[in-house]
Structure 1
Amino acid sequence: MTLSAQSIKEIEIKGKLLDKETNQPIEYATVLVADNTTLKPIKGTTTDINGNFSLVTTATNFYIEVSFIGYKKSIFNKPSKTDALIDLKTIYLEPDLESLSEVTIIAEKSTTEFKLDKRIFNVGSDLASSGASALEVLNNVPSVNVDIEGKISLRGSQGVQILINGKPSVLASGDGNNALGTITAEMIEKIEVITNPSAKYDAEGTSGILNIILKKDQKKGLNGSVSLNIGSPDTQSFGLSINRRTENLNIFSQIGLGKRTFPNDYETINQDISNNTILKNDGYSEMHEKFYNFLLGSDFFLNKNNVITLSVNYAFEKEDTPGTNNYSRFDGNDDVTDQWARTELTLADNPKWQYELQYKKDFEDHKDHDLLFSAMGSSFSKDSKSDFIDTVALGMNQEDSEEKNLTDFGRVEYTFKLDYTRPFSEKYTLETGAQYVIQDVFNDYEVQDLINGDWVSDPNLTNVFDYKQNVIGLYGTTSYEGDTWGLKLGFRLEQTDLKTLLEITDEKTSQNYSNLFPSVHASYKISEALSLQTGYSKRIQRPGLRDLNPFSIIRDNFNISRGNPNLQPEFTDSYELTSIMKLGEVSLNFGAYYRYTTDVIEEIFTYTNNISTRMPMNVGTNNTTGLELNSKYSPAKWATVTADANFNFFNRKGSFQGNSFDFKGELWSSKINSKFKLPAGIDFEVTGNYRSPFQAVLEKRGEEIYADAGIRKKVFKGKAIINLSVQDVFASRRFISSTTQPNFFLSRTSARGRFITLGLSYGFGKGEAMEFSGQRRRF
């Protein structure tokens, strides 16, 4: 035995693997020693971060194979004269574009993935949102609805917290329906839908969190993609994404620029029931917008376990919005007593900045053992001027007049986060961390009237509003994930300090409160085809600037919306149970949920002299019970149908100024999406959306029904993509609202029409063509 062991000869095989085109190391490539006769593997290894490899074998009749996904294989026969060392020196692998294209198609992610405390929607498979905005992408996500005014709801509730890459972001803030205005669809990799967030997440958002994950390519070498789009209404845009990765450095960037037009037809009716007078307004506006978006960032790989990321994002929107409101006043006999036109021209500049420093440390003992620190600063400004001219056509009680609205708005926010994840085994994990968010906002608003040739400020509609809010959060979670069941427990402690000030009138408010937010999540695997998940979390919805600021831009003097500086936050206890089933070619997910909300924020209407004023108030409690169904069926390899349906029943109890607002109501919504793989490599998709009418405290909302469609053709082996998308195919989408009270009736309707976009994108280097073009539209 001793003599036999000494006769066995060990051979070391080593070398270095590089990309033939970029001369960059290829990490995790496979190096295999196989038997020359049977072709069966004998021994193997993978390359390290520098492309180096080394292995030892005692085989005598073998060959060496070097391979990596997307590259052509290299095969080396055993040298005729074998020493103790076979040094293959530097091996250059040549990219195999055809193979890479095939692998990309096979490895395409499913539309929706389910995790213990969230669902993940992979945007790349969504054709109907091609050439669209982040709002349209969200509107195609299960459980999410974006109405025609750009308001986002989750399972029928608008208490949604929007995060970008897991953190609050200036990119998700804006003026009214301009939120998410600078994020285009091609920038988005995936969206996480978190209906019952664990304590790790910010407690903001009573109905849950939508976390938008932006793309950041890290392929080796120089890679990128470029897109060009044209559309109707008048739209042109250009997008460019570039990534450069070396051994110790990754540079990523995105550029978007263009112009777009957003038309809006609307009608309002104000009726005074006591004297049966009616004020009607038929209006039209058209916002013309030029936009720029520039992102630049870099990952510095100090070593394989430590990475520093720096990034800066600048976005700018320039708005030009002309509009006309045609007013008619009717008396009790339906005779016209007054008519006049109110024309508007609003000019606005909206610059946005965001910059971030992030440090991540990976520990050697476990792949998920890491420490993450980030510091982010952002700012959003709005400098706008609106000129209004009232021209009288009929009536003796009005004269021609002119008015100016001036707004100087600024928001600065700083976010500091520290997260630590420590697995103690493959099944047990501890997470802990802290977050500190600082918000400093001001809004300088002035209304001027032209009186005797001079512009005179209206003291009743002019003030400077300051808003300062600091939130400190600490959290801890512990989890167990076994083969059959899993459990995650957590808590979060947040302390809020809020101060507001109306400078001219010296009106101050102050709120300071601390809250504990627990969370529990559990899962149980009954069989390979059936699993159950359940969860509980406590959430908060803090009033924002628009909710608190008593002065807002007044475009319609007869329909005014203003904030309430004394508004308190909402608190919600949220429970849910979900089943995940796989039945052959059908996947079915059925869930039930319950939410109990206190200090519910609702808009309360008052009415005087044909003028309606709406203001948010804390009105009682709300119980919501809901059912949700998500399903996917593939009847053939070339066809897939997914359906999303949500029904909830709510019971509202509350009172305001001696008036009861108790009522019950229901809301249901559904989406049906069909995807087809047609001949000649063409993909087609159509999505139908429906939301039922529903009753709020005072306002009744009408139904919404519309369809989106998209078609895509990949050319040049997937390096280029041609997209054609149509939003609201039948121009059927409407915003409808009505309020009926004993002494008045209010009605609002609006429509935006059909949007068509044709886009072309091309990927270079190892980059793939953008799944979306760079245009986006606002609802």
Structure 2
Amino acid sequence: MKKFFLFILLLFFSNVLIAQTFSVQGLVNDQQHTGVPFAGIAVLSSRDSTLVKADVADESGVFKITGIAKGSYLLRITAVGFVPFKSPILKVEDKDIQLESIVLSSDTKQLNEVKITAAKPMIEIANDKIIFNVEGSVNATGSTALELLRKSPGVQVDKDENILVKGKSGVRIYIDGRPSQISGRDLASTLKSMNSADIEAIEIITNPSAKYDAAGDLGIINIRLKKNRKIGTNGNVSLGTNFGITPKYNTSLNLNHRDKKFNIFGTYGYSQGAWHNRTLDDQILNDISYKKTWKGLWRDTTHNARIGADYFLSSKSTFGFNANGRASNHNGGGESRTLISKRFAMDTDSVVLNSKTSNPEKNKNLNFNLNYRYADTTGHELNVDADYGIFSSRGISYQPNTYQFDEPEKEPLERNYVTKTPVEIRIRSFKADYEQPFKKGKLGYGFKLSDVKSDNTFDFFNVIHDTEVIDIDKSNRFKYTERVYAAYINYNKSFAKKWDLQLGLRAENTHSLGNLISYKENALNKVDTSYTNLFPSGALSFKASKNHSFNLNYSRRINRPSYQNLNPFEYRIDELVYSKGNPFLKPEYANSFKLTHVYKAKLTTSFGYRRTRLPVVTLRIPYDSSHTYFITQNLDYSQGFNLDVSLTTPVTKWWEIYFTISGYHSLWKAQLENGLIINNKTTAFLLNGQNTFKLKNNWTLELSGWYNSPYRRIDYNWAMGMMDAGVQKKFWKDNATLKLSFSDILHTARGGYTSEYAGIETRLRFKFEGRMLKLNFNYRFGSNEIKAARSRRAGSEDELNRIKGG
């Protein structure tokens, strides 16, 4: 393995003897000296006008085309609403070419307004990420963000609503470019409160470069919210309803105004509904059988809003501000019935435990961002971001329990509990990124300072004669502070027409302090940790021919423990099951490699290898003779190989298919202090597919589905899958869209797992509300066109502003 690592490093740093190339860069303006966004740039041979290389200008009209060999060329520039431009002969000799500002003339022969129509593919494949365009999918209509993740390529959502990639946790969730500082049930609640009407795309970034935070050993999933970039005043309104066991509703409004100096935008969304689920949990502990039936109900009402503005100081500088917030009321709960008896008893159950729980919870999340961007025509770019965020949660859990005995002389026994769990999280972050030309490539470097403080209270009450009495042995307060100081350097360079090299190194220093405040003395009341890590990354791309390209990349990443997992106190999930934190939990580190081949931009095949040191898993351990508890622990290591194949192609003019299959083989090993030995292997695959049929008169039909095969980590998880169908109709000059879809056609929204370790045998089956009829109406109003005299769309915040959290 060491030889393999050495070979990869030598491959990255070796001097490749190939021809020297140069770049052509400049700025495209209109007659008002305003940048023309997304103008098409083509470099042509001066001899026969054949295409040498093409690219697109950015939002400010700035372009840079690299990999141009010595010779004579012509430059052709096209943009909607303008007369095509053709330059005099350009001679590329011994240096890069910096052109004067190029001014395009308005096309007086065109109509006053030119309508731009473009359909994004449902799935886009890039070297470093997969993009699931939610707007491009009919069957995504009316879904929550958590449901969309379940449909995304390579992503799984398990029975506890944890997000897995290729059967493993550790992926970092970002919302509109900012990492979520919450996890577990709080994260699932937030994702379930987000509707597809507000989501533009989901980006799955597998091997981020050194510019990105190192957290998330499996990479990053970024949920990108919708933005309106049209000139003038415009917006859209969306109304939706889902009919399942109970109806659900959602609505959203998006307003935007953009001119030469300002872009002001705002959105508001509302969703309300109730979701049903059912669980059958059979467990054997110390030869006692526990058969639990759970009927759950999750109610949710959410308001979310976003407001912001960009001020274009000049053609080079933009200042931006935005704030977004979410307020939600949740109430999860349900009824359970547990039959308790001896394992091989032939008579009736000796004890029946009945419980009816209610978990009302109020969440508030508010985030502020200030951004400054400077970019000139010579390739210098500066981005500065300052962020402040607040997450507040007020949760209460009512747990009444009644034991009924088969002996008539025994009176029923009641044990009633109430837990109150307020949470406060504060996030502050400041970062700066700078890029400049260097040695015929692009050098980037930057730094980041972040501070996260969380305050978690757990108050446990015994309810005695309708009076809440605090239990000081089971109540505590856990304060956790984490500061991360990071700096990075990253370099990109193109060689000739075929090679691209990227190398990066990120350094992060982490200092965390966990402080447990309890009513009684605790040996684990403080855990102070500090560590520094280096995270190298690199990528080498080779364009072998017009139809074939290859990419090899490597990254080292970290997955830090969450504050919930570090809290050493006990949390009662129900009468028989507890959860307990581990203050000595260590970060897990992963090294990953991926080789990707792309054929005709349609067929993508990648092979990857990952090795993780100290991977984190959750184990279920006996608490006493009749109770169990969950605890998070580090294993020794895990490793795995994966093979992914994706195909996006039109079959005919009216039929397009998307298909991806991801197979993986993983190994988990550990010898824990309690004597438990883990040596598990699994081979599994995930499948996503969609057929899109474009019919006459603006009708679109869609059939999609996903399937996860059985896989093993600690537990053996059963297969899961769903199939959806939908139809879409556009009318009112394509400004209105009506979508109707039917999810879970085959009624397969169910799963389960079995496990046998540490003296516990478990067989769990669950079913969630997947079958729904979804109806959504969307209407765009105001300016839908790009006018020649007002075509500037400057203001470009970084797509992935990174806020580091704990």
Partner of 1:289: 300
Alignment of 1:375-774 (within 5 A): 375-395=386-406, 396=410, 398-424=412-438, 428-482=441-495, 483-504=497-518, 505=521, 507-551=525-569, 554-582=572-600, 587-607=602-622, 608-657=624-673, 658-697=675-714, 699-741=715-757, 743-753=759-769, 754-767=771-784
In 2, Cα distance between equivalents of 1:550 and 1:15:
63
Partner of 2:177: 166
In 2, Cα distance between equivalents of 1:179 and 1:15:
44
**Quick one: structure 1 residues 363 and 742, their matched pair in 2 at CA, closer, same or farther if it must change by over 3 Å?**
closer
Partner of 1:234: 247
Q: Deviations over 1:401-458 (max 9, x none)?
A: 3211111111111121111111348x61111111122110111111111235532222
Identity of aligned residues (%): 27
Which residue identity is paired with 1:591? Answer: S
Which of 265, 268, 287 is the equivalent residue of 1:255? 268
Which of 235, 253, 257 is the equivalent residue of 1:244? 257
In 2, Cα distance between equivalents of 1:464 and 1:512:
22
Q: Deviations over 1:26-46 (max 9, x none)?
A: 96799xxxxxxxxxxxxxxxx
In 1, Cα distance between equivalents of 2:382 and 2:123:
28
In 1, Cα distance between equivalents of 2:508 and 2:665:
31
Q: Deviations over 1:75-98 (max 9, x none)?
A: xxxxxxxxxxxxx999999754xx
Q: Does the CA contact (< 8 Å) of 1:243 and 1:253 recur in 2? A: yes
**Quick one: structure 1 residues 566 and 400, their matched pair in 2 at CA, closer, same or farther if it must change by over 3 Å?**
same
Q: Does the CA contact (< 8 Å) of 1:205 and 1:541 recur in 2? A: yes
What is the deviation of 1:377?
Answer: 0.9
What is the deviation of 1:469?
Answer: 0.8
5+ unaligned residues in a row in structure 2: which ranges? Answer: 1-28, 40-58, 62-77, 85-104, 786-806
Q: Does the CA contact (< 8 Å) of 1:330 and 1:338 recur in 2? A: yes
What is the deviation of 1:113?
Answer: 3.8
In 2, Cα distance between equivalents of 1:434 and 1:706:
44
Which residue identity is paired with 2:464? Answer: I
Which residue identity is paired with 1:590? Answer: T
Partner of 1:80: none
In 2, Cα distance between equivalents of 1:706 and 1:29:
39
Q: Does the CA contact (< 8 Å) of 1:17 and 1:93 recur in 2? A: no
Q: Is residue 2:374 matched to residue 1:357?
A: no
Alignment of 1:31-46 (within 5 A): none
In 1, Cα distance between equivalents of 2:611 and 2:647:
27
Secondary structure at the counterpart of residue 518 of structure 1: strand
Partner of 2:325: 314
Q: Deviations over 1:132-164 (max 9, x none)?
A: 222233333322233454322223322101223
In 1, Cα distance between equivalents of 2:127 and 2:225:
22
**Quick one: structure 1 residues 552 and 382, their matched pair in 2 at CA, closer, same or farther if it must change by over 3 Å?**
farther
Which of 267, 271, 280 is the equivalent residue of 2:284? 271
**Quick one: structure 1 residues 442 and 95, their matched pair in 2 at CA, closer, same or farther if it must change by over 3 Å?**
farther
Partner of 1:85: none
In 2, Cα distance between equivalents of 1:675 and 1:143:
21
The 10-residue stretch of structure 1 (529-538 or 502-511) with the greater mean CA deviation from structure 2: 502-511
In 2, Cα distance between equivalents of 1:243 and 1:324:
46
What is the deviation of 1:549?
Answer: 2.3
Q: Does the CA contact (< 8 Å) of 1:563 and 1:616 recur in 2? A: yes
Q: Does the CA contact (< 8 Å) of 1:449 and 1:458 recur in 2? A: yes
Q: Does the CA contact (< 8 Å) of 1:16 and 1:91 recur in 2? A: no
Which residue identity is paired with 1:735? Answer: G
What is the deviation of 1:683?
Answer: 1.1
In 1, Cα distance between equivalents of 2:306 and 2:700:
31
In 2, Cα distance between equivalents of 1:735 and 1:563:
27
Partner of 1:44: none
Secondary structure at the counterpart of residue 581 of structure 2: coil
What is the deviation of 1:588?
Answer: 1.4
Partner of 1:178: 189
What is the deviation of 1:397?
Answer: 7.5
Secondary structure at the counterpart of residue 385 of structure 1: strand
Q: Deviations over 1:644-663 (max 9, x none)?
A: 11111122221002332123
What is the deviation of 1:518?
Answer: 0.3
Q: Deviations over 1:693-715 (max 9, x none)?
A: 12223x22111121233321111
Whose radius of gyration is greater, 1 or 2?
1
In 2, Cα distance between equivalents of 1:552 and 1:177:
21
Which residue identity is paired with 2:391? Answer: F
**Quick one: structure 1 residues 503 and 89, their matched pair in 2 at CA, closer, same or farther if it must change by over 3 Å?**
closer
Secondary structure at the counterpart of residue 527 of structure 1: coil
Partner of 1:333: 345
Alignment of 1:20-39 (within 5 A): none
Q: Does the CA contact (< 8 Å) of 1:472 and 1:496 recur in 2? A: yes
Which residue identity is paired with 2:711? Answer: F
Q: Does the CA contact (< 8 Å) of 1:50 and 1:247 recur in 2? A: no
**Quick one: structure 1 residues 421 and 727, their matched pair in 2 at CA, closer, same or farther if it must change by over 3 Å?**
farther
In 2, Cα distance between equivalents of 1:27 and 1:646:
41
**Quick one: structure 1 residues 552 and 110, their matched pair in 2 at CA, closer, same or farther if it must change by over 3 Å?**
farther
Q: Give TM-score, length-normalised by structure 1.
A: 0.83
Partner of 1:10: none
Alignment of 1:121-270 (within 5 A): 121-169=132-180, 175-232=186-243, 233-270=246-283
Partner of 1:78: none
Q: Deviations over 1:248-275 (max 9, x none)?
A: 1110111001311111111212212x43
Q: Give TM-score, length-normalised by structure 2.
A: 0.80
5+ unaligned residues in a row in structure 1: which ranges? Answer: 1-13, 19-24, 31-48, 52-66, 74-87, 769-779
Alignment of 1:340-351 (within 5 A): 340-351=353-364
In 1, Cα distance between equivalents of 2:415 and 2:636:
43
The 10-residue stretch of structure 1 (226-235 or 328-337) with the greater mean CA deviation from structure 2: 328-337
**Quick one: structure 1 residues 29 and 462, their matched pair in 2 at CA, closer, same or farther if it must change by over 3 Å?**
closer
**Quick one: structure 1 residues 176 and 556, their matched pair in 2 at CA, closer, same or farther if it must change by over 3 Å?**
farther
Q: Deviations over 1:622-668 (max 9, x none)?
A: 11111111112322111111111111112222100233212322221
The 10-residue stretch of structure 1 (186-195 or 590-599) with the greater mean CA deviation from structure 2: 186-195
Q: Does the CA contact (< 8 Å) of 1:72 and 1:93 recur in 2? A: no
What is the deviation of 1:463?
Answer: 0.8
Q: Does the CA contact (< 8 Å) of 1:263 and 1:752 recur in 2? A: yes
What is the deviation of 1:498?
Answer: 1.0
The 10-residue stretch of structure 1 (631-640 or 523-532) with the greater mean CA deviation from structure 2: 631-640
Q: Does the CA contact (< 8 Å) of 1:134 and 1:180 recur in 2? A: yes
Q: Deviations over 1:139-191 (max 9, x none)?
A: 33322233454322223322101223433245988615224344332333333
**Quick one: structure 1 residues 401 and 117, their matched pair in 2 at CA, closer, same or farther if it must change by over 3 Å?**
closer
